[in-house]
Structure 1
Amino acid sequence: LVLEKTGCSPTYAHGPKILWWKEEHKQIFDRIYKFIVPACYVAGKMAGLKGKDAFIDYTYIHFSGFGHAEKMSWSEELCDVFKVPSSKLPRIVRPWDIVGKLTSKAARDCSLIQGIPIAAGAGDQAAGFLGAGIVDIGRVVDVAGTASCFTSCVDKYIPDVK
């Protein structure tokens, strides 16, 4: 079910880590407002966002273990199966959405100009595929990096469930 919905192996996702917090450290799990990925934490910190403003761009949701990749939304079915409240998951945005502006503190710390718009960004592979021109159906790319993958551009969601 996880692979079918997310398109990602459950062992290669944040879902098991979230479940570990739930099972092994329930009191801490209960206090966690939102589960986010590091890139979104950094962007949010630089924009001065609060927990209620937490976000994740849709290129990352498959790693959560609770995303519905085809619909680019949270899977209530997966959340129900694993008893993880979807309220603990951040809002889903597009990679190019502006999530905030650079705070004065972040601007000083980074030697940048205060108020620069901060876009949500995208996962490394999604950004790399776009950069490699994998935008037409039938184009393929082989990534031989830390996370090796052979990917092709298709016109619909097709999880590799085998």
Structure 2
Amino acid sequence: MTDLTPLEGQARALIELCIARGLKIATAESCTGGLIAGVLTEISGSSAVVDRGFVTYSNEAKTEMIGVSAELIQRVGAVSQEVALAMAAGALAKSGADLAVAVTGIAGPTGGSPDKPVGLVHFGVMRRGSSAQHAVHVFADRDRSGVRFATVAEALKLLAEAAEG
């Protein structure tokens, strides 16, 4: 299990920033399975900021819950820039949030390939009224918990940047 306690300071700062700016957050999570929303909701007062979290671990969940095209997933794969961006857009469309972060990746230890290695994570971040932004990281030489922890930390950072933007 991933201990997210070290991320609580980062989550607290994000919650405070969003409260000050009147922003709400939605998450769309695949490889983190709800950990981003989990660390945010560890913070007292997070209900003023966290609108909802979508755990879209399966391809079907991505399609049914947040409207990611099944054809897109089939064409480019769930772990891709295009799907991460569609997940972020879908999370905003299906919520009352102002900001959304989406993550899709390969936490391992199995499931990797030469083109999509274990530790590969695509991020989509979107602020309502703006275009989605993409980031990609390969969190190499980490176990499953390490990949998930690093993904949550990066997602919080990207959300803070979007909130300030």
Q: The TM-score by the shorter chain falls in which range?
A: 0.3 to 0.5
TM-score by length of 1: 0.37
Q: Which has more helix, going by share of residues? A: 2
